[in-house]
Amino acid sequence: MRDESSEYLSFEELFSLVERFEESIQSGQAQFFDVHEFVELIDFFIDHEDEEKALLALKHAENIYPSSIEIKYKWAEFYHFTGDNEKALELIHEVEKIEKFNSDLLYVKGEVLFELGKLNAAVECYDKAVSADTDDNIELLHRISTFFLENEEINLALKYLLISYSKERNNLAVLFDLGYCFERLNELDKSVKYYNEYLDINPFSAPAWYNLGIVHTKLGEFDKAIECYDFCIAVDPQYSSAYHNKGNTLASLEKYDQAIKVFNELAELESDSPRVFTLIGECYEKLEQYDKAIEAYNKSIVIEPDFAEGYYGIGVVLAARKKYELSLNFIRRAITLNPEEYDFWLGLGRVYFETNDLENSLKAYREATGLNPDLPDAYLSLAEVLLYEERFTEVEQLIDGLGNKFDSNVSIKIINAAALYLSHRPKEALDILKDAKSIDPSSIDDFINLVNPDADEEFIENIYKL
């Protein structure tokens, strides 16, 4: 691999070398290239994924310099590049007999071993490469950490980044990746620390402000997150993801007017994005400005006539206006366009429930549970319909079938307790209520509002003893 710091050639010299090599091939006239020039050519073609020319350069180099260790090493890199890692490793072992502690060779060997599924051996190789590198090895450490990041080995990436940081605390690439790694590992305070160190050195990095905003959002520090997105936008007014996240953060804070303003700014950058207009529609929907919501959802459909979320949004607004038959038409249209969307089936079930079409409501909720069995909403809605129909045994069977999947979900516990109480099993209901109260004391009020056991004085007395 090659970068700006190559000790041999500048980029201008490199491109001149490549042109000279390609001219020699086309003309058939031999030109002289020394070993280092061949190394540069081979690196260039591998970096640009030009397998044919890399192979051509290797063959030319081998003919002229048959005993060159550097060319053998480049053959190993080439075989690694083409995916023949067994052959690459075989050549590396040959080179190691002569140059056992070459850091570049050890780095490539580490990559090859990793791709052969030998993680521990790869790490051992990288450690040897770092020890063998007599120069300032920050670049090598960062190459190793980048390789592990690209392969989702976050803890290993972090190991080499922290070594880099101990050697050079103001390296921007290292600081940025440290912030990213700690975010991935959910060590968010540490992530904030390293992103802030990065921004102390380079405050004009839009990606760093953006990533820091995401971390503050995860920490629940929404004002700080919005401030970060503002800085990101100030540095790069075209950074559309910052508008998107800022708008979503404001919407989550129920600051819908402000969110709409941000999403409108985003719409100026992404005027052909139907998703932006559904975000605007959702905000107007929350403000109960239904005409504006429908207008925004319609814009999304105009941009992309088969945009399912636009139809679904209109369906939700029509349901809020109690125009249930029209609502069903739009939601069913959304499902036709995207039958795998969990929320669409959930919404369909709710509208069917409002029209008292309970069997179709149950079918919709069951479809949703099949699409995403790890979310509780559809199970909860399914249990509510069964409870409404006084199918208490089925409620119990449904919730028992979930096992401990949603053990901390108070709403499901309340439905379960209600089904037990209404089927004349008050002691079992109290056990469930005791568990629910330990999670959320106000859940007892939800239970009382649901089943209205006021006439059962003994049960009410036992509830308040929990």
Distances (CA, A) of 121 to 95, 124, 125, 127, 130: 18, 5, 6, 10, 14
pTM for the complete prediction? 0.81
Q: For tokens 């998703």, name the residue.
A: 275
Mean pLDDT, all residues of the chain = 92
Contact predicate 384/419, CB 8 Å? no
Distances (CA, A) of 343 to 286, 331, 332: 17, 10, 12
Contact predicate 133/103, CB 8 Å? yes
**Quick one: pLDDT at residue 136?**
66
**Quick one: pLDDT at residue 78?**
87
Contact predicate 319/351, CB 8 Å? yes
DSSP output for 185-228 = TT-HHHHHHHHHHHHHH-TT-HHHHHHHHHHHHHTT-HHHHHHH
- CA 69 – CA 96 distance, rounded (Å): 10
- CA 13 – CA 10 distance, rounded (Å): 5
Contact predicate 198/226, CB 8 Å? no
217-250 tens-digit pLDDT: 999 999 999 999 999 999 999 999 999 999 999 9
Instruction: Please return the burial class of 291, using the count of CB atoms within 10 Å of its CB with bins 0-12, 13-18 and 19+.
Output: exposed
Contact predicate 250/286, CB 8 Å? no
Residue segments in the chain with a per-residue pLDDT below the cut of 70: 1-8, 133-136
| Structure-block tokens of residue 168 | 């050079």
Residues in CB range of 88: below 8 A, 6 or more apart: 76, 77, 78, 79, 80, 108, 112
**Quick one: pLDDT at residue 242?**
98
259-302 tens-digit pLDDT: 999 999 999 999 999 999 999 999 999 999 999 999 999 999 99
Q: To which CATH superfamily is domain 387-466 assigned?
A: Tetratricopeptide repeat domain (1.25.40.10)
- CA 133 – CA 145 distance, rounded (Å): 16
- CA 183 – CA 14 distance, rounded (Å): 39
Contact predicate 319/306, CB 8 Å? no
- CA 108 – CA 92 distance, rounded (Å): 9
**Quick one: pLDDT at residue 2?**
36
24-54 tens-digit pLDDT: 888 888 788 899 999 899 989 988 999 999 9
**Quick one: pLDDT at residue 98?**
77
**Quick one: pLDDT at residue 4?**
36
**Quick one: pLDDT at residue 96?**
77
**Quick one: pLDDT at residue 455?**
83
| Structure-block tokens of residue 226 | 């919005």
DSSP output for 64-113 = H-TT-HHHHHHHHHHHHHHT-HHHHHHHHHHHHTT-TT-HHHHHHHHHHH
